[in-house]
Every structure is written in C-alpha cells, then in structure tokens.
Amino acid sequence: MIHYLSVYLNGSDRTESLNRLLPGLFTGKYSSVLYVGARIDRCDYLKELGKAGCAVTILEIFPPNAEHYRVCGWDVIQGDVRTAELSEYEVVFWWHGPEHIPQEDVAPALNRLEKVATRAVVIGCPWGIYHLDPDYGNPHEEHLSHHDYVFFEQRGYVTECLGNRDTAGSNITSVKYL
C-alpha cells in the first residue's frame, strides 16, 4: 500500500488528499453516499457532496444532531454505525468518526461499512493520539480510540497522513476501493 506524509496542514490539504485518493468524489461521479456522523456545528464535506449531486444519507447517533439535519431536509438514519440497519451506497464517508468508538469496535464497524458500499469507503481520523472529551452534552464526541495509517493499510486502504502524528489537527485520509 502507498502512504504519503505531508508537513502541510489546513482544510485544503484534506480536500486535496480526498481528491487524490478518490477522484470524482466532489464532481458527481458517485450517485449515493452514506455520510456517517454529523455534528450541527461541523459537518465537513456534506454540502460539497450534496452540490455534486450525490444522494446523501446521514447516519448519526446523537438524536439532537439527527433531528437537526432531518429538519434541514437531509435524509437521516438515527443510529449507531456498529448496529444500524443500512442500505447499499456507492460510497460510505466516515469522516472523523472511527476515533469516537472503542478500538475493538473499529474493525467490525469497517467490515459493516465495506459490506454496504459498492465502490469505496472513505475514512478520516486524527493521526495518532488526540484526546477529546464529550462536548455540548453529546457523550459520543469523546475520542475512545487512536489510529495509525498502518491499521488502515493492513485492511486494504490507500492512505495519506497530514500534519504530525499525535498533534491536534493531524489527519489520516484512507480510501478502500471495492
């Protein structure tokens, strides 16, 4: 597997990483996307996927967040990535979510997502140790696991790392083609 290390880190680097690893994600190449996890105040790439013409379904565990996006007109499944009943999607997009479940649950969750994706699974998460406590009354915001690109590469993902390991703002972008 290939991984790239970059010393540059900003929002556009993450977008560039996504565009390198899954060309066409934001240009209408894919018709259906399952977007896993959606904070009210931060939902990276949701609008871009919608503007690209993707039929986006949001899977969100925290009821107030799920209701917010439902009211905003998005298709929402309120449930847990580890147990929710899911349909089939061309792309599953789990952006900064794996760190919110225990380490022992990450591989089984990825297995579930890989079964419902027909073309690709996209993962984003902090690179290394980055602690985060529950926030705005949402217990699911806490970081319960920490990741290295090797974990994803061993599962067949192509990865890029941005920033520096164990540093706030770092990022692993991983894509598995199915």
Q: What are the pLDDT digits (tens) for 43-62?
A: 899 999 999 999 999 999 99
Could you state, in order of their start, the residue ranges of all structural domains in the chain?
A: 3-177
Does residue 12 register a pLDDT over 70? Answer: no
Does residue 7 register a pLDDT over 50? Answer: no
Q: According to the model, what pLDDT value does residue 42 have?
A: 80
DSSP letter string, 106-120: HHHHHHHHHHHEEEE
**CATH architecture under which domain 3-177 falls:** 3-Layer(aba) Sandwich (3.40)
| DSSP for residue 73 | T
- Residue with more model confidence, 82 or 162: 82
Strands 117-125 and 171-177: antiparallel
Q: According to the model, what pLDDT value does residue 132 have?
A: 80
Q: According to the model, what pLDDT value does residue 11 have?
A: 53
pLDDT band at residue 93 under the 50/70/90 scheme: very high
**Average pLDDT along the chain:** 91
Cα separation, 82 vs 62, in Å, equals 14
Q: According to the model, what pLDDT value does residue 45 have?
A: 95
Under 8 Å between Cβ of 92 and 36: yes
Of these ranges, 3-17, 68-82, 121-135, the one predicted with the greatest mean pLDDT is: 68-82
